[in-house]
Structure 1
Amino acid sequence: MSKEGVIADVGRAAEAVSADEEAANPLHQIESLCMRCRENGTTRLLLTQIPHFREVVLMAFECPHCGEKNNEVQFAGQLQPHGCVYTLNVPEDALEVLNRQVVKSDSASIKVPELDFEVPPEAQRGTLSTVEGVLLRAADELQALQEERRKIDPKTAEALDHFLVNLNLCATGKKPFTFIVDDPAGNSFIENPFAPSPDPLLSVNFYNRTSEQQEALGFLPDNEQVAAEKSMDQTSPTSKERIRYVPAGTRREPHGSVGALAAHRAIAQGNSDEVAAALFKYSTPEEVMNFPATCGACAAKCETRMFVTNIPYFKEVIIMASTCDFCGYRNSEVKPGGSIPEKGKKITACILNKEDLSRDVIKSDSARVIVPELDLELAPGTLGGLVTTVEGLITTISENLKRVHGFSIGDSADEWKRAKWQDFDRRLRKILEVEEPWTLTLDDALANSFIAPTTEVIEEDNQLKFEEYERSFEQNEEFGLNDMDTSSADMAYN
């Protein structure tokens, strides 16, 4: 096939993928090279959407000459704001857990710690399968060259035979294990049959990508992040010895560094104009500082604007906004000012009427969102940081739940799962119409979240309740506060 023909076919494929979303996406066929026999086969492309989850491109290749077949899933949507780690505990003889559907993107790795087993991203392309299917496929691929391996390296082949026995025991439910999907792009997923309620067997953690992960995904890393990671690596040998495993990340960090980053993490990211409009109503900045920076998308020189403002009854915050005139990239964030509070804070708002839906809300990365009337609880890190209203927060939660838990809503879902989601959606619309009073709680261990009052004096707002509490040892450990030493800084200020 000529080079011009390949370019033309790729162009036609791009046109098919970028077709109008409202029109029916046709099946597109491309003549492509078979990597086994070097003859031309056929690749079929279909742009489709997993209901309320992601847009994906389904690709299937078939060669009529040698019978070679291959299929994979690639994501057509955007890179997610955070990476994600799904951890599923699979008990013994739990066949229903093995049948849970799994979406694995090209950038995701799969781990089974009990077997010291890891499938790197390059070993398996994007797939739509089940827990059992992923393990059996890995076993088949390892078994494929065993006979040749026995002739060259009998010891390795014997060790691999023993490993394959254990892997097959896990895949058939005869041995308990932990199934972990770690995706820096945030585009992987494991089905939760109990959604929107928490799954006792499944935990989801979100994390900020490292500069190496950002670069591996094809994006330029942030220069400030690279500098921070380099300074972090240049620690003393004593601190390097104290290493702990962070489930929400993909690499080991010096003990305490996670908390230092979490303390200064942005509590809101979004459109610069929207953030400014939401916060200018509280106070006008005394001074806007401009300083040169580098665009995180194209590495061109740009300008960052920063000012400090105060939100009444909350705290001092730092607002930063960057715009790149070269590529159009925009970024804004709101960072908490001052020191880390000694206590966590729980804010509870009683929503009685539609006016309460207009209350301003600042939700940080470290906040837990609870709505008892919906039996809904979101773990810290879910949705990232937001500057919005009560109505906007609930709407965002609804959209993200439907997108992430699409398997429980789509055509392939069991009837009882679909009925459960329809009931949840009905209750969600009910609270947005405020047909009955309901409660919104933000539980923030770092006290970086806020719900605005509707009265001039916050003490007169009887629908708001603030409760401070002592953080547990585990919470301090998660934010790296147990080993944080600020004595040198205190001496410098004194």
Structure 2
Amino acid sequence: PERPGPAPQHPGEPGAAPGQAEPSPRQAAAGTGSVFRALSAEDGEQRPAEIESLCMKCFCSGVTRLLLTRIPFFREVIVSSFTCGSCSWANTEIQAAGRIQERGVRYSLTVSSRQVSDMDRQVVKTDCATARIPELDFEIPAFSQKGVLTTIEGLIDRAVAGLEQDQPVRRATDQEVASKIDEFIGKLKQLKEVHSPFTFIIDDPSGNSFVENPRAPQKDDALVVTHYRRSPQQAAMLGLQGEELDERPDDDAAEDLRNEVLQFNTNCPECNAPASTNMKLVQIPHFKEVIIMATNCDSCGHRTNEVKSGGAIEPQGTRITLRITDPSDMTRDILKSETCSVEIPELEFELGMGALGGKFTTLEGLLKDIRDLVERNPFSLGDSSTPSRTGKLQEFIGKLQEIIEGKAKAHLILDDPAGNSYLQNVYAPEEDPELRVERYERSFEQNEDLGLNDMKTEGYEAEEASGR
């Protein structure tokens, strides 16, 4: 609402005659020490620098005064004030003297009474900060005003002045809109009397805004200060997108990795031609994180996918038993790790661990992969097979197809000694009546297959040091 006047960055504009900044006596004498003095300093040494600048209203020469000051319990700021002797126009701005902070800040103040001087609290509002009063659904958007050092009452007065600026034109062109704005201006003016409590919120992604705590360094119960990590949109708004990504902690970097498909070069396992493998982290609900890898070869058209567990081997093995009673069971998600075996008792079928590799698919997809594995076996259905064996396998494939189509009921058992397999519970987080998950202690042979018997992780460094 308020027009920005010439700030210290305008001395080079046409018609401007830059002046010489006058140093303080302490700076001239010592030449060392901080140039920022406390805001309440009254010792006469804090003299503003004066620069002759161009007035953007009447285009005559005015004066910009710069004051380098330190706000108690906050940080250093630069206050600039412009006045024009010709048209009497004045404007003030504030800029943060430091860098953008590592985190954004949100101040929430409950203004309850005028007697406690809540309206007189000092407020630093940078140009990228948003000021809100939820009770009136009122908001001053970011970058709509220049930074300012004022009070809460001063911010309300600036908002009122900005709304009243074009009211004469609105009354002439749109009386209805002008009446609504007049009504809203009246509500803003009533806020200054604090007839009822209201909430004043400043949200600044740069972290350089400030609301005074008159009880500092003690806690102010009416003021809530929250520091937060900027979103990618806020970082881009501040021009810090690349820097923000570098400064994110490991958990944020891992979150970005989950949303990104990584690609690296490899060779096709069939024709050995150069190919690319895509890799993505996927979080399975109510389970754990897995890594899905897919390789596509443009030369021979070979495609393969593989699933790796993103976590460690579990302390116990897992046996999952599902009673297939409905065709909807075919849509259940399944994670079959490389160490998992599959059993269907009704068909007297067992698939050992390592077969089919790791897969993240549905129950229907797993059964179809089993069917394709049997059909592609040349020793079962090829020239090397016998008629009796072929008949039994054709009967097996027919029964398996009936289970896939939901015409027959059966049990599916996933036995994973590493505990890294998963079958979706469609009733989660409630218990699934058709699903049973058992935990068991691994045998010595199972630990041997997983390479755990000879694995030592405790006291390794001490033994290595003693061996030296």
Q: When the two structures are superposed, what TM-score results if normalisation uses the length of structure 1?
A: 0.42
Q: When the two structures are superposed, what TM-score results if normalisation uses the length of structure 2?
A: 0.44
Structure label with greater radius of gyration: 2
